[in-house]
Amino acid sequence: MENTRRDFLRVSAFGLAAVTAKSFAEPVENADRDVPSGSISVRVTYADKRFAAAPPVAWLPAAGPAGANSIVLDPAKKFQEILGFGAAFTDAACYMFSRLSPASREQLFHELFHPSEMGLNVCRTCIGSSDYSTKVYSYDEGEPDPDLKRFSIDHDREYILPMLREARKHSPDLFLFSSPWSPPGWMKANGSMLGGSMRRAYMPSYANYFVKFLQGYESEGVPVQAVTVQNEVDTDQDGRMPACIWPQEYEADFVRRNLGPAFQSNGIKTQIWLVDHNYNLWGRAIGELETPDVRKYASSIAWHGYVGQPEWMSRVHDAFPDVPMYWTEGGPDYTAPNYAADWC
């Protein structure tokens, strides 16, 4: 198991880069290519400055001979269709979005999500708290509640769901996939959302927890198209943040015996993606796909890019060429000492 998390960029809560290019030169066959016209402007938010203008960015001729960085497309050779590109609606991100003025947020979301602008069309949400949250929380806090009588998504109604609805206003076909960083603490061996592992006895309740989450979001006008069982199945993050270890057989059994049947009996069409961790778990991915009945319910493999090599995904593809794979998280290859305590 590896400690594979990231910290926030300390320089800002978020930065925006806008590129306006009126025209670009067509490729030519020599190194003396024209520099594209247009301009690039970058604005960054610091602790003491909002949307401060960064130094101008200039277009420069590409280095090296023409064609050195070319991408060659062979129409006869087809690969997996790209689902899309996007980012994560974490608790912290939604909180910061909610602090913007309505006019600023409208402009920002238009530039991020509208098809005529950046056009982000696949985004991730958290099922409960993550390391990018204002506090540690689940949708069913307190003593054991296997019937989920206390289940509530009220926390998300404050600013997460409003931001998701606003994004969908600019991108009605926005594809959302959701991941839990941890089940409620009472479902786990250590009794806490920080670190630890899942208890098998509560897997039926946890499957219903997913169902209630999806039904709750749907009722709020925010349908979720896919879920992963667990963000980063193979680490407990040393107990410093919401996390949960799911051994291979636990995840496979949960999907085929609990989660998949619960979705089926409740008429839920949301996809189930497996693993949601690093490239080095390619063997685990194959093992889960080989487990009887898993593929009856699970459609895809989700990957993170912190450990291992991207080409290792091909080992899974070669074994199961009809199983789509998606890259669901990545970031810097370092971890700051305070990454689990400084959310923004």
Residues 213 and 244: their CA atoms lie apart, in Å, by 18
In a domain, 281, yes or no: yes
In a domain, 72, yes or no: no
**pLDDT band with cut points at 50, 70 and 90 for residue 23:** very low
**Average pLDDT rounded to a whole number, residues 319-326:** 97
Dihedral of the alpha carbons of 192, 198, 200, 203, in degrees to the nearest 10 = 90
Q: Is the dihedral of CA 111, 84, 268, 302 positive or negative?
A: negative
What is the CATH classification number for the domain harbouring 200? 3.20.20.80
**pLDDT band with cut points at 50, 70 and 90 for residue 118:** very high
Residues 171, 49 share a domain = no
**Residue 332 pLDDT:** 62
**Average pLDDT rounded to a whole number, residues 321-326:** 97
Interacting residues of 170 by C-beta distance below 8 A, sequence separation 6+:
109, 110, 112, 113, 114
Please say whether the beta carbons of 316 and 323 come within 8 A: yes
In a domain, 336, yes or no: no
pLDDT higher than 80, residue 36? no
**pLDDT band with cut points at 50, 70 and 90 for residue 302:** very high
Structure tokens at 203: 């897997």
**Residue 69 pLDDT:** 72
In a domain, 138, yes or no: yes
Render pLDDT for 157-170 as a digit per residue (tens, 0 to 9): 999 999 999 999 99
Residues 140, 22 share a domain = no
Residues 269 and 287: their CA atoms lie apart, in Å, by 24
Residues 213, 179 share a domain = yes
**pLDDT band with cut points at 50, 70 and 90 for residue 337:** low
**Average pLDDT rounded to a whole number, residues 109-113:** 97
What is the pTM (predicted TM-score) of this model? Answer: 0.81
**Residue 48 pLDDT:** 82
Residues 121, 47 share a domain = no
DSSP for 177-235, please give it. EEE-S---GGGBTTSSSBS-BB-GGGHHHHHHHHHHHHHHHHHTT----EEES-SSTT-
Neighbours of 29 (CB within 10 A): 9
In a domain, 47, yes or no: yes
Residues 156, 9 share a domain = no
**Residue 32 pLDDT:** 47
62-65 LR contacts (CB < 8 Å, sep 24+): 62/31, 62/33, 64/31, 65/31
Residues 167, 133 share a domain = yes
**Residue 203 pLDDT:** 99
Give the number of domains in the chain.
2
Residues 229 and 241: their CA atoms lie apart, in Å, by 17
In a domain, 122, yes or no: yes
Neighbours of 164 (CB within 10 A): 23
Residues 37, 103 share a domain = no
DSSP for 4-58, please give it. ------TT-S-EEEEEE-S--PPP-SSS-PPPP-SEEEEEE--SS-SSEEPPPB-
Q: Which residue has the tokens 């198209």?
A: 225
**Residue 291 pLDDT:** 98
pLDDT higher than 70, residue 27? no
**Structural domain containing residue 17:** 1-62
In a domain, 158, yes or no: yes
**Residue 331 pLDDT:** 74
* Residue 101: strand, helix, or coil: coil
Residues 33, 83 share a domain = no
Residues 93, 55 share a domain = no
In a domain, 334, yes or no: no
Neighbours of 60 (CB within 10 A): 7
Q: How does the average pLDDT of the chain come out, rounded? A: 87
DSSP for 135-188, please give it. S---SS-SS--TT-TT---HHHHHHHHHHHHHHHHH-TT-EEEEE-S---GGGB
Render pLDDT for 209-228 as a digit per residue (tens, 0 to 9): 999 999 999 999 999 999 99
- Phi then psi for residue 329, to 5 deg, are -165, 145
**pLDDT band with cut points at 50, 70 and 90 for residue 34:** low
Please say whether the beta carbons of 40 and 17 come within 8 A: yes
Residues 35, 135 share a domain = no
Residues 277, 241 share a domain = yes
Residues 1, 121 share a domain = no
